[in-house]
Structures are given as structure tokens and as C-alpha cells.
């Protein structure tokens, strides 16, 4: 379920970005673009404007849904409880690791510890 909501959320985010980029700049925000004529308090709602609102509301709903799903998954304990498991050192082993190059050669090895200068 979480994966489905997450995929819908990502599709909504990309669609919202695309719709916002397709809209005509009305200026005012950065002091550029738009221009001309008497300014009214409210402009006519276009189809792109309505679609932007619809996508934004759906995006917010999926965001809240993902937050609720994540909260339900993590309700078992706190982050501090999980940190104690991570920071605990692994149990010590008396057996040396055979892949460790820093160990002295075993008794069966014929190689000298220091290479000869011959």
C-alpha cells in the first residue's frame, strides 16, 4: 500500500511541476513579466489554474497519507532505542580472521616474515 501511495505521490509531484511551468507568468512576484492594463483583485480562473489546485490538493493528501503510514510503521519504539542496537559492538571472536593480512603466518607457511635482500 505504501508503495502505491508513494508512486502516486511522485507522479502528482511531476505533474504539478509540469502544470506550473506551463502557466503564463503574471508578474508581480519578482517584478517582471505580465504587465499592462488595470489590475483587478481577482482574475478569471483558467483550466490550468483549476488543474493546479486539484493536483496540489491531491499532493497534500498523499503527503499526509504517507506521513500516517510512516507513523504507524514506527510506533513500536523510538529512534533512541534503535541507536543502542546499532552502537553495540559485535561479539568478540577468539578465532583470527583468515583473510586478515596483518596476522603472522601460521606454522605451515614457509614464507619468511621479512623478505631477504638477495
Question: Which tens digits make up the pLDDT trace of 35-52?
Answer: 555 555 555 678 889 999
Task: Establish if 2 belongs to a structural domain.
Answer: yes
Average pLDDT, integer, range 89-97 = 65
Considering the domain boundaries, does residue 54 fall inside one? Answer: yes
Report the predicted TM-score, pTM, of the whole model to 2 decimal places. Answer: 0.53
Question: Domain for residue 9, yes or no?
Answer: yes
25 vs 9, more confident = 9
Helix (H) / strand (E) containing 14: helix 2-22
Cα–Cα distances in angstroms (integers) from residue 94 to residues 4, 33, 91, 97, 102, in the given order: 48, 74, 10, 9, 16
Query: Structural domain of residue 8, as residue ranges?
Result: 1-22+46-73
pLDDT for the residue 88? 63
As given in the structure block, the three cell numbers for residue 13 are 509531484
In-domain check, residue 67: yes
Residue 4: pLDDT above 90? yes
State how far the Cα of 85 lies from the Cα of 78, in Å rounded to an integer.
Answer: 12
Amino acid at each position: 500500500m505504501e508503495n502505491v501511495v508513494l508512486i502516486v505521490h511522485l507522479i502528482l509531484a511531476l505533474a504539478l511541476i509540469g502544470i506550473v511551468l506551463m502557466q503564463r507568468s503574471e508578474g508581480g512576484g519578482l517584478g517582471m513579466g505580465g504587465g499592462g492594463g488595470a489590475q483587478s483583485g481577482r482574475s478569471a480562473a483558467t483550466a490550468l489554474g483549476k488543474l493546479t489546485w486539484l493536483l496540489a490538493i491531491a499532493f497534500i493528501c498523499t503527503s499526509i497519507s504517507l506521513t500516517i503510514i510512516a507513523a504507524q510503521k514506527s510506533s513500536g519504539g523510538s529512534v533512541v532505542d534503535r541507536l543502542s542496537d546499532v552502537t553495540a559492538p559485535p561479539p568478540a571472536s577468539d578465532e583470527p580472521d583468515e583473510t586478515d593480512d596483518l596476522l603472522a603466518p601460521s606454522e605451515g607457511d614457509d614464507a619468511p616474515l621479512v623478505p631477504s635482500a638477495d
